[in-house]
Amino acid sequence: MNTETTSTGAYRVSAEQAAVEDDVVNRVLASFDCCEDPRLKQVMRSLTTHLHAFIRDVRLTEEEWNTAIEFLTAAGHITDDKRQEFVLLSDVLGASMQTIAVNNQAYKGATEATVFGPFFTEDAPEIPHGGDIAGGAKGQPCWVEGKVTDTDGNPVAGARIEVWEADDDGFYDVQYTDGRIAGRAHLYTDAEGKYAFWGLTPTPYPIPHDGPVGQMLEKVGRSPVRAAHLHFMVTAENLRTLVTHIFVTGDPQLEIGDSVFGVKDSLIKDFLQQPAGTPTPDGRDLNGQDWARTRFDIVLAPANT
Ligand code: BEZ
Ligand code: FE
């Protein structure tokens, strides 16, 4: 008796059945023979190989296949120019982080990249050094400062820094329907590579979970909550663009887990609480409100590394 099993514990099929299934795979692989783009051909052949291996490994039922089609259809229906369910799906399956890992290989001491997320917009206002990104968003004021250098330690002047974050209620501006622009801005490093701005102390929030991806997370017993974070995108000439965020030391969600696998130890920063009345770095009067401060020094790898 054949006692060999697949990863799911199902018995392997007979030699005759395996030949029938191999024949399907081989015919699909051959269908790409005339593809003139070698990269596209490679990607489609590999996708076919892995997809068929998966179907055969779990012995996918027709009912399960139908459920998958319904799931993808629902993801399509909920997707529009503001809501991207397929990006969410890629994020919660770790596919986004894996693509980032493949494309941002470690280089000397360069700052690590993490997931982009769906809430970046191109139209964030410019603020001066020490400006405020809140734009009316609720939250504890947080002074964020740092320096941008290359991997040889040279300061990078004029680097463009985009920052964006959710408010205290866990929502980005684009999730409101009133067209507000809040909790986002861009600024440039000075001649010494330094930058500073007022943001909001990040708090944990769930990824949008009122659609098929949220239902899937619930079914598998996973939380949609992300560890508290502040997004950065840093661009500078001849250097690798960095998309990343910083996390908050002591955030309990770091222990529980980040729903999109975005946390890296090197990106967890101390956000030091400052009691009400503590003088601010730029003399700003916070009307007796407490505040926080953090430092994030950024190292950019050379372009094309
Ligand atoms: C975010 O960082 O805001 C985010 C990232 C991935 C999926 C959803 C949200
Ligand atoms: Fe985010």
Residue 6: pLDDT band (50, 70, 90) is confident
pLDDT value, residue 161: 98
Q: Is the CB of 213 under 6 A from ligand 1?
A: no
Distance 175 CA to ligand 1 centre (A): 12
Nearest CA owner, ligand 1 atom 7: 117
Q: Tell me: the pLDDT tens digits for 209-250?
A: 999 999 999 999 999 999 999 999 999 999 999 999 999 999
Q: Which pLDDT tens digit goes with each residue over 74-125?
A: 999 999 988 899 999 999 999 999 999 999 889 999 999 999 998 999 989 9
Domains of the chain: 3-60 (no CATH), 93-300 (2.60.130.10)
Contact 272, 293 (CB under 8 A): yes
| pLDDT at residue 1, rounded to an integer | 40
In terms of Cα–Cα distance, which of 204, 197, 138 is closest to 167?
A: 138
pLDDT of amino acid 2: 46
* For residue 142, pLDDT beyond 50: yes
Q: Quick one: residue 215, left, alpha or beta (phi over 0 = left, psi -120 to 50 = alpha)?
A: alpha
Of 43, 13, 19, nearest to 29 by C-alpha is 43
Q: What is the pLDDT of residue 104?
A: 87
Could you tell me the two tokens for 285? 């009067």
117 lines ligand 1 (CB under 6 A): yes
DSSP SS3 for 40 = helix
What is the pLDDT at residue 270?
98
Q: Say if strands 141-150 and 291-295 run parallel, antiparallel, or are unpaired.
A: parallel
Instruction: Give the model confidence (pLDDT) of 8-37 as tens digits.
Output: 777 689 999 999 999 999 999 999 999 999
Beta carbons within 10 angstroms of residue 270's beta carbon: 12
